[in-house]
Amino acid sequence: MSDFGRWRVAVLAGALIALWSAISSPESSSGLIPAASPRSAVSPEARPDPLVALGQSIFFDTTLSDPPGTSCASCHDPERAFSSSNGSTAGVPRGSRATHLARRNAPSLLYLKQIPKFGFRLDDDDAIQPVPFGGFFWDGRSDSVASLVRQPLLNPDEMNNKDARSIAAKIEQASYVTYFKRQFAAELSGPEATLDCLGKALEAFLESSEMAPFSSRYDAFVRGRGKLTPYEMQGLRLFRDPAKGGCVGCHRFYETGRDPALSMFTDYGYDAVAVPRNDKLPVDRKPDLGLCERKDKQTPSGAAQYCATFRTPSLRNVAVRSSYMHNGVFTNLRDVVAFYATRATDPNRWYKSGVKFEDVPAKYRSRVNVASVPYNRREGDVPALNDQEIDAIVAFLQTLTEARYEKLAAE
């Protein structure tokens, strides 16, 4: 080989090494890609926001569970719009131990930055009593991503860490520990402080612009850069129509506004929908009472009137989820829409036990929403939506899928 040929090989090898270092370090600017190991020693200042990069590395770290092997991404898979079941077929995710299941379905982590803190508000000008809204999790029990992350890390049915000390010990052995200590040098006073800092790093990643892409066909539509098909537009109208789907009552959107952030397809409020029991879950599991289980004393929500209510999720990327509702009872988006449309008119289709609202404890069943459209019908009545209209709403909901997931939504 000539000297020039050797020079070309050396340059190519150097470029490949540099590329590997860039994508395997926490300051990689390559986007939502699992960070590789081992890390390079490239300065974290090489990325515009090293805290976001550090949070991304932590998010994909499979050593932060007991036993090792489960990361945040295991239940919030980037390939499924940051929601997943970690190999479970029960509708809720499997924990780090194969025989343990999370209590609830894992929601998407996209657009977390849009979720307001928990509180009470007057829902409209005619409201007499403030209603609850906001907060993270199905029951609003956390007010920040930084505090949210403690719960899966320490939950024995999820990542199963014993305490903050055991997590801090794992951070000490992590490939990103140098960057972690450099970022939080003035704050690392002990295990609890380490866990707080871990939360701050994850919060930076999960609230970064990369986690709110607004790249769906619906987003292009409201920006005036794309069109929906006539079938999808029919679904939009049915979704909005207060006499048909009435979905917009809880899943708010504004198709006339050019800013997609105005259309999060949720009001962040709470409702008692009374989904069917998930027979794939243990029969002896503790009843899930939703909002009234929240323990915060500053803005209490423990009154019986809030039992069996759960926060309305965003419908963005709903078409790519593997399970639906807080207990994961549905695995098909069409079934979800059909349930809403026919729960009142054909309850035996959904409540296989023959007991209406079977998964809600008997003393709270009177609090289930039977007043809103389409629940405000009697058994045997004609449903608010027919099969063709249900399909049209599903078609519209598929337009809320980010560009990177469109092929998955079509499967």
User: What CATH number should be reported for the domain holding residue 150?
Assistant: 1.10.760.10
Pick from 398, 337, 76: which is nearest to 206 by CA? 76
Q: What percent of the chain has pLDDT over 70?
A: 88
Rounded distance, CA 380 to CA 368, Å?
19
Q: Could you say which of 162, 187, 211 is where a domain stops?
A: 211
- State whether 365 and 294 are in the same domain: yes
- State whether 188 and 166 are in the same domain: yes
Q: Could you say which of 161, 193, 211 is where a domain stops?
A: 211
Of 41-50, 310-319, 338-347, 348-357, least confident by mean pLDDT is: 41-50
User: Strand, coil or helix: what is 408?
Assistant: helix
**Which pLDDT value is given to residue 1?**
47
Q: What percent of the chain has pLDDT over 90?
A: 85
Higher pLDDT, 109 or 44: 109
Rounded distance, CA 100 to CA 184, Å?
34
- State whether 343 and 206 are in the same domain: no
Positive/negative CA dihedral, 130, 135, 137, 143: negative
pLDDT class of 411 with cuts at 50, 70, 90: confident
- State whether 273 and 199 are in the same domain: no
Pick from 144, 154, 105: which is nearest to 296 by CA? 144
Does the structure show a pLDDT above 90 at 98?
yes
Q: Buried b vs exposed e over 335-365: b needs ≥16 C-beta within 10 Å?
A: bbbbbbbbbbbbbeebbeeeebbbbbeeebb
Rounded distance, CA 336 to CA 179, Å?
44
Higher pLDDT, 9 or 129: 129
Rounded distance, CA 78 to CA 289, Å?
30
- State whether 298 and 179 are in the same domain: no
pLDDT class of 115 with cuts at 50, 70, 90: very high
Average pLDDT over the chain reads 90
Rounded distance, CA 96 to CA 290, Å?
24
Q: Say if CB 306 and CB 291 are below 8 A apart.
A: yes
**Which pLDDT value is given to residue 47?**
57
**Which pLDDT value is given to residue 123?**
80
What is the total count of domains within the chain? Answer: 2
pTM of the model as a whole = 0.88
pLDDT digits (tens, 9 = 90+) for 4-58: 344 443 434 444 333 333 333 444 433 443 333 333 333 344 557 999 999 999 9
- State whether 223 and 203 are in the same domain: no
Of 35-44, 106-115, 380-389, least confident by mean pLDDT is: 35-44
Residue type, position 274, single letter: A
Q: Please report, for the chain, how many H helices and E strands are present, in that order.
A: 13, 4
> What's the token pair of residue 354?
């023959």
Higher pLDDT, 176 or 21: 176
Residues 6+ apart with CB under 8 A from 10: none
- Mean pLDDT, residues 88-100: 97
- State whether 242 and 264 are in the same domain: yes
Q: Could you say which of 152, 185, 211 is where a domain stops?
A: 211
**Which pLDDT value is given to residue 347?**
98
- State whether 189 and 282 are in the same domain: no
pLDDT digits (tens, 9 = 90+) for 260-302: 999 999 999 999 999 999 999 999 999 999 999 999 999 999 9
Q: Say if CB 198 and CB 58 are below 8 A apart.
A: yes
User: Is the preceding peptide bond at 132 cis, omega within 30 degrees of 0?
Assistant: no
Rg (CA), the chain: 23
- Mean pLDDT, residues 122-142: 90
Cα dist from 238 to 7, 241, 365, whole Å:
66, 5, 28
- State whether 19 and 104 are in the same domain: yes
> What's the token pair of residue 44?
């974290």
- State whether 49 and 180 are in the same domain: yes
What is the number of other CB atoms lying within 10 angstroms of the CB of residue 187? 11
- State whether 232 and 206 are in the same domain: no
Of 20-34, 84-98, 155-169, least confident by mean pLDDT is: 20-34
Pick from 49, 28, 374: which is nearest to 207 by CA? 49
Higher pLDDT, 146 or 25: 146
User: Strand, coil or helix: what is 269?
Assistant: strand
Rounded distance, CA 32 to CA 16, Å?
21
**Which pLDDT value is given to residue 10?**
41
pLDDT digits (tens, 9 = 90+) for 386-406: 999 999 999 999 999 999 999
Structural domain harbouring 15: 3-211
Pick from 49, 337, 98: which is nearest to 205 by CA? 49
| DSSP classification of residue 20 | H
pLDDT class of 209 with cuts at 50, 70, 90: very high
Higher pLDDT, 36 or 73: 73
Of 1-10, 325-334, 335-344, least confident by mean pLDDT is: 1-10
- State whether 166 and 250 are in the same domain: no
Residue type, position 361, single letter: P
**Which pLDDT value is given to residue 33?**
38
